Amino acid sequence: MTVESTAARKPRRSSSSRRTSAAKAPQSSEPQLVQLLTPEGERVEHPDYSIDLSPEELRGLYRDMVLTRRFDSEATALQRQGELGLWASLLGQEAAQIGSGRALRDDDYVFPTYREHGVAWCRGVDPTNLLGLFRGVNHGGWDPASNNFHLYTLVIGSQTLHATGYAMGVAKDGGDSAVVAYFGDGATSQGDVGEAFTFAAVYNAPVVFFCQNNQWAISEPTARQTRVPLYQRAQGYGFPGVRVDGNDVLACLAVTKASLERARSGEGPTLVEAFTYRMGAHTTSDDPTKYRADEERAAWEARDPILRLRTYLEKQKFADEAFFTALEAESEALGKGVREAVRAMPDPEPMAMFDHVYADGSSLVDEERAEFIAYQASFVEEGN
Amino acid sequence: MAAEKMSIAKALNESLRHALDTDPKVLIMGEDVGKLGGVFRITDGLQKDFGEGRVIDTPLAESGIVGTAIGLALRGYRPVVEIQFDGFVFPAYDQIVTQLAKMRARSLGKIKLPVVVRIPYGGGIGAVEHHSESPESLFAHVSGLKVVSPSNAHDAYWMMQQALQSDDPVIFFEPKRRYWDKGEVDTETIPVPLHRAVTVREGSDLTLVAYGPMVKVCLEAAAAAEEEGRSVEVLDLRSMSPIDFDAIQASVEKTGRLVVVHEAPVFYGSGAEIAARITERSFYHLEAPVLRVGGYHVPYPPARLEDEYLPGLDRVLDAVDRSLAY
Ligand SMILES: Cc1ncc(C[n+]2csc(CCOP(=O)(O)OP(=O)(O)O)c2C)c(N)n1
């Protein structure tokens, strides 16, 4: 599949003719996107992206999405109870994350932002480890190398360059693994992301840029970041872009798989725009009523990624009542486990802040650590 | 007299409102500054009243925000840009340091760049990584930039007015954990010049110098020291570049002792500059070496450790004791 042929095979209807002011116009509400499962739970075919999953595999995707949502809602609740300082919910983005996450091979490498809890789940990262950052006990509680899942990145867009560099390294080493960089629609405005596209293109890096366009960057709609649909950006850099229904787990899986295959076979980067929606607030500190209408969320609820797969599973009789009941119990157990683990998570030892600052150590850090210890000890001596 | 009690956040909001109202060239730019009113609501209601052409929601791109503000300033506008959090100024650092700071000198004074860069900074609010940093000395080190930080509502109101009137770029650090602290704001009396330090408490035994979030801590420390019979003077520096060394010198020559307090790491921090210069200026008046209290040379720690990292009352008092023990 070449760049030209991809671009030629997927002509997009421009929606700009209806616009009076393109910069203000909202993104087309009916984007042309790859879809394999409709919001009504009907299976449809797409000429470029076919997928054939067994009932068991379909149930697996459903389970992943349900458990991820349960984990996420538990974390939101824990923030409300004061156990976490902040939480960035993925509510509504389960299909984009599970679909893309399940397309990965173990030897692929993921560079997430701060909302990729579903991808982390697919990578086998213990969900409670994701909470340390948000509780304020660490800056990321897992070893990236053990799951090929990098630390969360809070500076918007930075990780797209790391992913590209990592992919350049993979290509140099001659392996056939691939790299995925996750980011949001807002991130596409960052210079770093543009530079990542440039590097990935000119070095033909085996990287998939997976943009979850959840319509909002805190209070700013996607129209504040771009005049063209985001997937079209790729064309200007010389690699294909594709828009997929981000609430359709099958389409996300199929498109990511195909993009990874391109990367593996030396055809370079792809930009995947998963068109989805952030159903909750940006984070627990955000108040979306200040900037968006309730009706918008209601409209997207009808496209709920979990509901549509459930409808399909039920219609096809791929899952019975016993499956759903068992999953419900599993969800509850997961929630309970996470709750208990978080409450039991100890505060770090104050001295820990002096650890790991330099690989070779530092006389300055040693000196300050010693002062700190002496200072702390002075309280004990005074009996305070 | 138009004195009113308000929070620092409200004072900044009123100040920006006044500027938009009186100078049609003033623009506000940044991420989420419009409908949302910024994540700290400093620009709350301003877009509603002045329109999207004056209060501009920008794309999520800090280099773009500062770079286009430079262009707008070249065209005669006076942009006030908001960087959402301290840790996110670095994508714009290139534009600030290599362009904003230097254009005036390069053009032999022909170019004016009246750009104000507002940065909510510092810790103490239990935030996640990159949301609690104190990068002020990275900016103060760069000539061509003015770097200021108010510590109370009155100063927040007036220092913003003065920053907006300055034809030089001003990096305006807002102490975010003090946003909700209330104080009297007098919008009529002629203000203290922007770069003048202010004695916020008189004393005779030792001088504490601080700015922004640490002024409150130092005032508390001075009050606690008084109970132990010590008379501590507190200077609110207000401006980290330029620094009002005359005011510090005068105070030190009265008290004979100086402790500088800031949240940023001590190493290469503004305290180092103050200590060195005051030692040069007032060597024979000093009864003790100038001491510094501040952050450690480690990445800003996870929130649950920030109380250990940030200088609190005890650490300031400890330094006061050490200085007085010489
Ligand atoms: C460089 C930088 N600037 C600003 C921020 C503050 N911020 C955090 S999330 C966010 C919006 C991100 O939107 P998007 O990229 O669409 O991702 P989403 O959170 O919607 O998934 C902003 C402005 C940041 N984290 N990093």
How many angstroms is it from B132 CA to the middle of ligand 1?
A: 16
Query: Which residues in B lie closer than 8 A to residue A379 (C-beta atoms)?
Result: 314
**Residue A13, pLDDT score:** 36
Residue among A217, A348, A379 whose CB faces B304 most closely: A348
CA distance B49 to chain A (A): 15
Mutate to test the pocket of ligand 1, among A100, A218, A219, A283 (most ligand atoms within 8 A of CB): A218
pLDDT at A283 over 80: yes
Nearest-atom number in ligand 1 for the CA of A282 is: 19
The whole-angstrom distance between residue A195's C-alpha and the CA centroid of its chain comes to: 20
The model's pLDDT over A34-78, given as tens digits with 9 standing for 90+, comes to: 999 999 999 999 999 999 999 999 999 999 999 999 999 999 999
For chain A, the average pLDDT equals: 92
Ligand 1: which residue has its CA nearest to atom 17? A184
Q: What is the pLDDT of residue B1?
A: 54
For residue B86, pLDDT beyond 60: yes
- Could you give the ipTM of this predicted complex? 0.94
Locate the chain A residue with the closest alpha carbon to B87.
A155
Query: What integer pLDDT is reported at residue A379 of this predicted model?
Result: 86
Question: What pLDDT, on a 0 to 100 scale, did the predictor assign at position A10?
Answer: 38
Residue A25 has pLDDT above 80, yes or no: no
Residues 6+ apart with CB under 8 A from A47: none
Please check whether residue B169 is in contact with residue B142, taking contact to mean a CB–CB distance below 8 angstroms: no
- From ligand 1's centre to the CA of A347, what distance in Å? 27
How far apart are the CA of A35 and the centre of ligand 1, in A?
A: 27
Q: Which of A149, A146, A140 is nearest to A118 (CA)?
A: A149
pLDDT band of residue A156 (cuts 50, 70, 90) is very high
With 50 as the cut, is the pLDDT of residue A17 above it?
no
Rounded to an integer, the average pLDDT of B75-83 is 98
Nearest to B32 among A132, A218, A225 (CB): A218
Q: Which of A278, A303, A308, A312 is catalytic?
A: A278
Residue A32's pLDDT is 83
What pLDDT shows up at residue A6? 38
Residue B176's closest CA among A154, A288, A285, A89?
Answer: A285
Question: Does residue A49 carry a catalytic annotation?
Answer: no
**pLDDT for residue A1 is more than 80:** no
In the residue annotation, A278 being an active-site residue is answered as yes
Of B124, B132, B293, B321, nearest to B232 by C-alpha is B321
pLDDT of residue B2: 76
Assigned token pair, A180: 């995925």
Of B18, B130, B131, B285, the catalytic one is B131
Nearest C-alpha of chain B: how many angstroms from A258? 30
- In terms of pLDDT, which residue wins out, A14 or B149? B149
Least confident of A17-21, A79-83, B84-88, B122-126: A17-21
Per-residue confidence (pLDDT) for residue A12, from 0 to 100: 37
- pLDDT at residue A324 tops 60: yes
Share of chain B above pLDDT 90, in %: 99
pLDDT digits (tens, 9 = 90+) for B41-69: 999 999 999 999 999 999 999 999 999 99
Asked if B36 and A219 come within 8 Å (Cβ–Cβ), the reply is: yes
> Could you tell me the strand order of the sheet in which B258-265 lies?
B198-201, B232-236, B206-210, B258-265, B291-295
Respond yes or no on whether the N-terminal peptide bond of residue B242 is cis (omega within 30° of 0).
yes
